[in-house]
Each structure stands twice: as structure tokens, then as C-alpha cells.
Amino acid sequence: MRRLWQLAAAEHGRLRTAIALAALGVLAGIVPYWAAAKMITALLSGAAEPRFYLVLCLTAFVGYALRSILYAQALALSHRAAFAVLRGIRTRVLEKLPKLPLGVVIDHASGAMKHTIVDQVESMERTIAHLWPEMTANTFGPLCIFVYLLFLDWRMALLSLVSIPVGMVFMAIVMRDYEERYAGAVQATDEMNAAVVEYIGGIEVIKAFNQGTASYETFSEKVRANASYYYHWMLHCQLPMSVGKVVSPTTLITILPVGWLWYQDGTLPMDVFIQTIILSLGIAGPLLASMSFIDALAKVGTTVDAVDAFLSAEEQHHATEPIPVGTTDISVEQVSFAYDGKKTVLNNIRLTIPSGTLNAFVGASGSGKSTLARLIAGYWDVQDGSIRIGGHDLKDIPLPQLYDLVSFVAQDTYLFDDTIRENIRLGKPSARDTQVERAAEMAGCAAFIRRLAHGYDTRVGSGGSHLSGGERQRIAIARAMLKDAPIVILDEATAYIDPENEAVIQRAVAQLIAGKTVIIIAHRLSTIIDADTIFLIADGTVAAQGTHAQLLDGCAEYRSMWQAHISAKDGDADD
């Protein structure tokens, strides 16, 4: 609760007012019970006048009305505070997002990130909005009743509490390892969400390669694992929770028999006995209800941990003042890199890329070529060594300026659920429509765009789902053309494109890279035989470099890769 109070620091004024209103509402809410007890006592004695009953009825009505009004106002204030707190959390998260290394954001499972930023943060609203007014009502009310009963008869006051500690013991058993189990539940849900996103996002490939059964089984397994985790958790809690909820409210089990004996022997007045019976019903129920917030607080604690971890993640450290970058030559000096500080992906890389040249990174899958390209693009800060553009360390170049210098076209192109025009315009938000259409023409997009019913105003769907892979790739190239950055990095941009689209895209790429400093991460070696320099990356190091002819002549590993590539092309031709 302390951490939640700290989180809501900006809303303490509203929350304190809500607590005060809730406390006043509790006092008003006790009045009808008191009035009812007085009426029953008077009826049993038969001594009161009708006017007495009328006054008590009005008193009970006023008390109930005040309780409802005050409690409603308390909830209204606490809800405003809750929404303000959530807005503050989401604002901080969204402000943090651009400061994180781009590679971290891209590599983070979108389902898990959505669960933290959207679902878990949203789940805090009910706790923040209801915790303080309801906890005030559910604890202050029983306390007031207990104090009042102490004045009436201390023995009956103590009897009204006998069942509560017994019930709390069983509830404590339920909560004993709650945080650990809830953290496991969050992990199971994150894995299920990631599986759902992957399954839906890859449905086109799954169907194309007839992998529906296998892929569905993977997705289904995560769903079953999530359901199984919750089922066994609830099974573990079932018995102690049931006993706790049954035992705690049963205050009358002790009050009725013992109170009747004391009444019979003359040590307990009838009016005190009746008041105790009625008012004791307002002790255990609210206290039991307040215990439901223990569950909510534990969940909020896990959410706060997740948000804190996100907000405390290491940011990229770059200069903030733009600097003049004259040339676009790139030098990588003794660079080493490991994801999350674990297995080293790059080890003491050294290479130089002159301005205006065409370069290629080749190597086996997992060799580190894509990681190296992403480091040059500023996706992460290098951990050891340095990368320089135009003689300036990347860390001395502000990130916005660095992103203006580099266009990165990946094999997995992402388009927003917007029009084709606006997806291309992302490359240069200030571009006029004519400039957007010119870029589309150069990228070979214009022909298929004109065939669409709404042309450039056609919405592409989430992730570009309404377009083919080749069409999405050409729009990405058009976007990069419009951006017109002096450095272009193509990460296997034609790796999974059919031959017809590949020819169109290759022509578009040729337009894109003309006169620029270019790095191509190559999947098909035939696409980079004209490169000025080819760097062979193996086991995180530069194993060889040179032109295509030089590597064929002097590098056995590259020669083997080329022969395998030619054999694969011949096999495709035979088919």
C-alpha cells in the first residue's frame, strides 16, 4: 500500500478528501443500525410513543442518505485520482519508450509489452479508485462499532470479534505465497499473449506452408498452460479460502448463546443484547471485504514491479546538440556486443566503410551480421569499442540526427493501419503529395497502387495485412526514398520475395542506393557480386573482406557459400 501511495503522490489531496468523506459516510451509515436496535428494544418493551418511532425512522433515513451521498462523492474523487495516476504512468511509459534502445523495443514480444503497458496498468484503476474509500469504510466502520460496543458491554464487544482471527488464519494461508504465484500467472499470461500475437501475425505463412496443425498446437499449448496454471492455483486456495469466508462472518455463533445466558442471569440488559446482535453484523462482513484488497494489492505490487523495471531500463546515452557530419564514411573500431550481457554476439569487430560505397555483410544465420548493421543504425549503444560516422562517435550524434542520417529497410516490413500515402509519408512527414507519389513511382509501387479502388488513400490494414509481401516491401523502399538519408542499410530486403517481385524490388533498390553509403545484409549472394567490399562475418568476427572476385579466389568459406548458392539456384531452375 505504501508503494501505491507513493505512486499516487500527485493525487494525495484528492485521495485524502475521499478518505475523509468515506469516514464521515461510515459514521452516517452506522446510524440506521443504531436506530433499528432502538426501535426493536422499544417494541419489545412497549413503552415508547408513536412519535418516538417516527423520529427513529427519520433518523435512519437521514443517516442512510448521508452515507450514500458522502460515499458517492468519495468514490467520484478517488476515481478522478485513479485516472490521473494511470495517465501519469502511461505518459511516463510512453516518454520512456523512445529513449530505450530501438533493438530492445523491437525484440520485446509485443504481446508481453501490451500486457504490461495496457492490461496490467489498466487493472490498477479499480484498486486505486476503490482501495482508500472502501478500505476506510471497511475498517473504520467496524472500529467505530467495536468502540461503541465497548461502552455498552465490553464482554459483548470482545465476543463480536472471536470468529474473525480464526477466519484470518485461513485467509493468511491463502496469501502466504501469493506474490510468487501471481508473478507466475503474469508470466503464463505473457507467454500466451505472445503466442496469440505470433499465431495471428504469421497466419499467412502458416497457411501457405500448411503448418496450421503444428502452429495451432504451439498456440494451444500456451493457452492450456495458462489455464492449467490458474486452475491449480485456485485448487490450492480453495479449501482455506472457503473456510476463511465461512468462519469470519459468523459472529452470531458466539454472541447469541453467550449473550442469551448473560441476559437470563440478569447481567446483560435486553437493549444492549439487541444492539450487539444488530451492530455486530457490521463488523465481520466489512473486514472480510477489506481482505479482498490484499489480493488486489499483491497484483498491483507485481504491476508496479513490471512498470518500475520498464522505467528503470537503461536508456541510450547520446548527445542532445546536433553536430555537423560532413561525410558518411563508417568506421567500426574494436566493437564487442552481447544481448542482455549474456552470450557474445560480436567480438572485437574492426572494419571501415568509405563514403558513397556499396558494401555487403554475408555469413551464416546467427553470425552477427544483422546485429552489426543494427548497431551502425543506432538500435543499441555499443558495449565495447566505438562506431563512427564521418569521424564522430555515434554517442556524440543525437538520436534524431542519427535516424535522419540512416535509412533501415528490414526484411520484416511493418506498415501502420493507415493509408498507403501516409505510410510512405512517414519517411518525410513534411512531404507534399507529389513528392510521395514520385517516391512511389521510383520504388515501383505506382502500378499496383493505381489498380486499387482508392489508390494512395487505400488503407493497408494492421501491419500491412491487406497487401502482399512484395507490395509492403516496395512501400518500405518508397518510404526510404522519400527520407533520402545518405546512409542506407538493407537487411535481407529480398530474402523471401518471389522472383517476379524481386526483379521489381531490385530495380527500386538500385534507385534508392544511388550515390549513397550502402550496407546490404545479403541472403542471396548473387545480389551483391558488384559490391565494392563484401565482409564475411563468422562467429561474431570479420573472417574475410574484399570484392566478390577476391573472396572467391582467397576465401574457402566464401567460395563454399557461393557454390551452395549456385547449386540452390540451379535446383530452383530445374524445378
In a domain, 325, yes or no: no
Claim to verify: residue 283 and residue 376 sit in the same structural domain: no
Q: Are 140 and 23 in contact (CB under 8 A)?
A: yes
Strand partners, 538: 541
Q: Are 132 and 77 in contact (CB under 8 A)?
A: no
Sheet holding 533-538, edge to edge: 406-410, 487-491, 517-521, 358-362, 533-538, 541-546
Residue 315 DSSP label: P
Claim to verify: residue 539 and residue 414 sit in the same structural domain: yes
Sign of the alpha-carbon dihedral angle for 380, 381, 386, 391: positive
In a domain, 150, yes or no: yes
pTM, whole model, 2 decimals?
A: 0.64
Pairing of strands 392-393, 384-389: antiparallel
Contacts of 276 (CB under 8 A, 6+ apart): 149, 152, 153, 156, 157, 159, 160, 255, 259
Claim to verify: residue 276 and residue 414 sit in the same structural domain: no
Strand partners, 309: none
Claim to verify: residue 346 and residue 304 sit in the same structural domain: no
Distance of CA 353 to the CA centre of its chain: 39
Claim to verify: residue 275 and residue 424 sit in the same structural domain: no
In a domain, 182, yes or no: no
Q: How many C-beta neighbours within 10 Å does residue 126 have?
A: 14
Claim to verify: residue 394 and residue 502 sit in the same structural domain: yes
CA distance 553 to 546: 10
In a domain, 236, yes or no: no
CA distance 359 to 518: 6
User: 427-437 burial string, b = 16+ CB within 10 Å, else e?
Assistant: bbeebeeebbb
In a domain, 16, yes or no: yes
Per-residue confidence in pLDDT tens, the chain, 575 aa: 677 777 777 888 888 898 888 888 888 888 888 888 888 877 777 766 788 888 889 998 998 899 889 989 988 998 898 888 888 888 888 888 777 777 766 666 555 666 677 777 777 777 788 877 877 777 888 888 888 888 888 888 888 877 777 777 777 777 777 767 777 887 888 788 777 766 666 655 555 445 556 666 777 888 888 888 888 888 877 777 777 666 666 677 778 888 889 888 888 888 888 888 888 877 776 777 676 676 677 677 777 877 887 788 788 788 888 898 888 899 999 999 988 767 788 999 999 999 999 999 998 888 888 889 989 988 888 888 999 999 999 989 988 889 899 988 887 777 888 999 999 999 899 999 999 999 888 888 888 899 988 899 999 887 788 888 788 888 888 898 889 889 989 886 555 455 555 666 677 777 777 888 989 888 778 888 888 999 999 988 999 999 999 999 988 998 888 888 787 665 554 54
Claim to verify: residue 351 and residue 302 sit in the same structural domain: no
In a domain, 24, yes or no: yes
Task: Tally the domains of the chain.
Answer: 2
Q: How many C-beta neighbours within 10 Å does residue 327 have?
A: 14
213 exposure class (CB count in 10 Å sphere: 0-12, 13-18, 19+): exposed
Claim to verify: residue 353 and residue 281 sit in the same structural domain: no
CA distance 376 to 279: 72
Give the pLDDT score at 420: 92
CA distance 247 to 212: 51
| H-run or E-run covering 346 | strand 344-353
In a domain, 194, yes or no: no
CA distance 546 to 532: 8
CA distances 112 to 91, 107, 185, Å, are 19, 11, 13
Claim to verify: residue 433 and residue 341 sit in the same structural domain: yes
Contacts of 186 (CB under 8 A, 6+ apart): 115, 120, 302, 306
In a domain, 438, yes or no: yes
Give the pLDDT score at 470: 80
Name the nearest CA neighbour of 406 among 365, 470, 353. 353
Give φ, ψ of 352 to 5 degrees.
Answer: -130, 135
Strand partners, 386: 333
Give the pLDDT score at 447: 87
Domain region containing 500: 330-574
Q: Which amino acid is it at 521?
A: I
Claim to verify: residue 366 and residue 291 sit in the same structural domain: no
**What dihedral angle (degrees, nearest 10) is formed by the CA atoms of 111, 113, 119, 124?**
160
Q: Where are the beta strands (DSSP E) in 327-373?
A: 330-338, 344-353, 358-362
Express each pLDDT in 336-348 by its tens digit.
998 876 778 899 9
Claim to verify: residue 275 and residue 381 sit in the same structural domain: no
Claim to verify: residue 346 and residue 303 sit in the same structural domain: no
Q: How many C-beta neighbours within 10 Å does residue 375 have?
A: 25
Give φ, ψ of 530 to 5 degrees.
Answer: -95, 10
Contacts of 248 (CB under 8 A, 6+ apart): 163, 164, 166, 167, 168, 171, 284, 287, 288
| H-run or E-run covering 506 | helix 499-513
Express each pLDDT in 7-36 by its tens digit.
777 888 888 898 888 888 888 888 888 888
Kindly report the CATH number assigned to the domain that includes residue 546: 3.40.50.300
Kindly report the CATH number assigned to the domain that includes residue 92: 1.20.1560.10
CA distance 331 to 381: 15
CA distance 307 to 289: 28
